[in-house]
Amino acid sequence: MTESSDNLLDHILEKNPGMPREELLSLIERKKQESHGLLSDEGAVRLLAQQLAGLSGQSVNMSDLRISSVQTGLSDATISGEILLISQLREFQRSDGSVGKLVRIKLKDGSGQITCVLWDSTAEIVEKQQLATGCKLRLSHGYTRLGLAGEVEFHLGSRSHLEVLSKTSPNGPAISSLLSQESPPATISAETVRVRIRKLQKSRGENGPAWALCENEDGLTMAKFWDDNMETVLSMGEGSVITIKNPWITERNGMVYLNAGSRSSITKETLVNIESPPPVTIASIKPGPKLYTTRGVVVERTDPREIETKEGRRTRVSNIRVEDGTGKIRIALWDNHAQFAESLRMGDAIRLTGIKARESSNGELEASTVFLTQIEKS
């Protein structure tokens, strides 16, 4: 460790006289593990200096994370970057009757970009200072969570701080087409979510949920509707725009699910529309829980074959390879989607909505269909 780290260690031990040095060193190792490799020895010491010795972030000189290094599960992180996209400030009513405020921005640095969600007082700063695209910000003491589309989001809450590093004059439009001023935001608050149902199907099991492939401004997500909400959403039907209060997010087998159960409520919206996100290029598809919509031309196809899964279930699979001018990707079509492959010919243009990407054992990018993936010839 550096001399400054040793000084911080001594300061922590001074503030916590009953703590053995070995215990503090164990805490440092645990912090490094919890950060999934993002914290060095010095970074972990600085973080503990804030938590155990009452030192402020300025006192320990915490360095900013590169946006490409931001992962879920961070509780006190700092990033800096330039505003790429920005939404209008929105107000919403929380379940306790209080009024909340929300602004969503896309922030970028030299390593990548990330969606940032600014709540309440930090959201007000955007409006008061007339921030626009091109402004550079430092967002400190934020936390991360997994968004509905399976991408990491950086949130600023009551403990967070927004610092304007440089400003640009808001000459041009600051609102992107994805964060439109024309309609309410699809994601309204942490307790309320608005989505459009693309595909809907009841579970085959007696006590199973209704499954739905949904979309909003964040992209695509799979949803499960339980208890009374199962019949409610089935009666609303595909194509409906719904607002879900008190949902929760789960992750299983690398997939993100939006859940609505006994404590959730669903309302059908009649005056709100949500546009479908445009297809992405094959070159922009990355491994992870995010679901993608893409399109391209079929250049390879295998006949469906029957296999047995690890759970002992018999199913069918067919592999196709699709290209779009930016790249190629192999896509496994499972179950009913394998049957669709029999109608495909070389040169057919297709659109796939709701595919999941991963890295194969040989390091290549590949994708597969999920339960409610939609495939159509275009």
For 59-109, the pLDDT digits (tens) are 444 457 888 888 888 888 899 899 988 887 877 777 677 888 888 899 998
Question: Residue ranges of the alpha helices (H) in the chain?
Answer: 3-15, 21-34, 41-53, 57-60, 120-128, 228-236, 336-341
Identify the band that residue 188 occupies on the pLDDT scale cut at 50, 70 and 90: very low
Give the pLDDT confidence of 298-349 residue by residue, as tens digits: 999 999 999 887 777 788 999 999 999 999 999 999 999 999 998 999 999 9
Q: Is the Cβ–Cβ distance between 220 and 229 less than 8 Å?
A: no
Q: Is the Cβ–Cβ distance between 43 and 63 less than 8 Å?
A: yes
SS3 assignment, position 187: strand
41's CB contacts (< 8 A; 6+ apart) are 1, 5, 28, 32
- CATH 2.40.50.140 maps onto the chain at 77-179, 192-269, 282-377
SS3 assignment, position 25: helix
pLDDT at position 109, please?
A: 87
Thinking of the domain 192-269, which architecture would CATH place it in? Beta Barrel (2.40)
Residue 257 has pLDDT above 50, yes or no: yes
Identify the band that residue 42 occupies on the pLDDT scale cut at 50, 70 and 90: low
Higher-pLDDT residue of 96 and 356 is 356
Thinking of the domain 282-377, which architecture would CATH place it in? Beta Barrel (2.40)
Please name the residue that has the structure tokens 């409006």. 127
The lowest-confidence range among 59-73, 251-265, 352-366 is 59-73
Give the pLDDT confidence of 190-204 residue by residue, as tens digits: 568 899 999 999 987
Please name the residue that has the structure tokens 């969503």. 104
The domain defined by 77-179 carries CATH number 2.40.50.140: yes
